[in-house]
Amino acid sequence: MEKKLAGQIAIITGASSGIGAGVSKALAAAGATVVVNHPVAATKNAAEAVLSEIKNEGGTGMTYQADVSKEEEVKKMFSETIFQFGTVDILVNNAGLQRDAPFTEMTLEQWNYVLSVNLTGQFLCAREAIREFIRRGITPEKSKAAGKIICMSSVHEVIPWAGHANYAASKGGIMLLMKSIAQEYAGHKIRINSIGPGAIKTPINRAAWETPEAEKKLLELIPYQRVGVVEDIGAAAVWLASDDADYVNGITLFVDGGMTLYPGFSTNG
Ligand code: BGC
C-alpha cells in the first residue's frame, strides 16, 4: 500500500477511545508516526492498547497524557513531541465530550466543562501546531503544505440539538474557529479543515445504537441506513491530511450517511 503520510508526525487528541483511536490507527497505517494523546492517568492503559495495536501492524508512535483544556499541558505535549520526533506535521483536534442536560437544568460546570475541552482545547492545540508549522515551513519531500489541522466537529455544527446546548455551541464554535484560522494562515501553506461526523458507533453515543430498538430509531435520522464506524472517519482524516486534498482548505467534510440532508423532509414539508 502506498504510504501517503510517510515520515509525517501526527498528534491526535483524545485518542484512547472512539474516533480518536480509529483516526490514530488510520494515520499510522498511512505511514504517520502518531502521538496518541489521552487526558488523565486513568486513560493511560487504553491509550497504550491503541499504540500496541498500531505497533503490531508495523506503525510507530508514543502515548502522551495531556488535558487539552490546560495550556501548560498542551505546550508540554508539543515540546515533548518535537523533542522526540523533530516536528509536528499533522494535528487532529479530536478530544471532545458531552455533558447533556435540559437547558434550564444545565449547570455552569457542565457548560464550562464541555466548552473548555471541545472548543478551548482546539484553540490551544491549534495555536501550538501553527506556531510549529510556521517555524519549520514546508518540507517538500513530506508534503506540499507546511502543516495540516483537522478539527473534529460534528453534524451538530449545523444541526441544532435540544438537550445538548453546550455541545452544539462548542461545535458551532469550532466551525468558525476553523474557518477563521484557515483564512488567517492559508498564505503560510497551512491547511485547516473539519470533519463533521454523524452518528458513529463509539462510547459517546452507546445508548443510541446499543439495542436494536435504539438503532432502528437512530436510522430514521440516517438516509444511508447504517450507523457509521470509526473507519469511516479514519479514511476521511487520511485523505484530508494527505496531498490528495492539497487544494482543500477551510471546509467541513460531513461524514454522516446523509444526516445533514434533513431526512424528515423526505416525507413531510
Ligand atoms: C454526537 C453523538 C451523536 C451524533 C449524531 C455526535 O456529534 O457526539 O452523540 O450520536 O453527533 O447526532
260 lines ligand 1 (CB under 6 A): no
Residue 193 in contact with ligand 1 by CB distance below 6 A: no
So what's the pLDDT on residue 99? 98
Ligand 1 atom closest to residue 218's alpha carbon, by position in its atom list: 10
Domain extent for 135: 9-265
Tell me how far apart the alpha carbons of residues 67 and 63 are, in angstroms, rounded to a whole number: 13
Does 3 reside within a domain?
Answer: no
Q: How far is the CA of 218 from the centre of ligand 1 (A)?
A: 10
167: annotated active-site residue: yes
C-alpha of residue 6 to centroid of ligand 1, in Å: 32
The total number of structural domains that make up the chain? 1
Residue 47: the pLDDT is 98
Residue 156 beta carbon below 6 angstroms from any ligand 1 atom: yes
Give the H/E segment covering residue 74. helix 71-85
Backbone angles phi and psi of 126, in degrees to 5:
-65, -40
* C-alpha to C-alpha distance for 81 and 60, rounded to whole angstroms: 13
Q: Catalytic one among 113, 167, 185, 262?
A: 167
Q: Is the CB of 155 under 6 A from ligand 1?
A: yes
Are 24 and 34 in contact by the 8 Å Cβ rule? The answer is yes
The residue whose grid cell reads 503544505 is: 145
pLDDT in 10s for each residue of the chain, 269 residues? 689 999 999 999 999 999 999 999 999 999 999 999 999 999 999 999 999 999 999 999 999 999 999 999 999 999 999 999 999 999 999 999 999 999 999 999 999 999 999 999 999 999 999 999 999 999 999 999 999 999 999 999 999 999 999 999 999 999 999 999 999 999 999 999 999 999 999 999 999 999 999 999 999 999 999 999 999 999 999 999 999 999 999 999 999 999 999 999 999 99
198 within ligand 1 shell (Cβ under 6 A): yes
Regarding the beta carbon of 204 and ligand 1, being less than 6 Å apart is answered yes
Q: Is 17 helix (H, G, I), strand (E, B) or coil?
A: coil
The SS3 of residue 63 is strand
Report the separation in Å between the CA atom of 87 and the middle of ligand 1, taken as the mean of its atom positions: 33
The answer to whether residue 153 sits within a structural domain is yes
Residue 171, SS3?
helix
Backbone angles phi, psi at 197, to 5 degrees: -70, 150
pTM, full prediction: 0.98
Whole-number pLDDT of residue 2: 80
Q: Are 234 and 25 in contact (CB under 8 A)?
A: yes
**Domain for residue 1, yes or no?**
no
Residue nearest to atom 12 of ligand 1 (CA): 199
Q: What is the CATH number of the domain that holds 61?
A: 3.40.50.720
Query: pLDDT at position 1, please?
Result: 62
- Within a domain: residue 4? no
For residue 153, report the distance from its CA to the centre of ligand 1, in Å. Answer: 10
Nearest CA to ligand 1 atom 3: 199
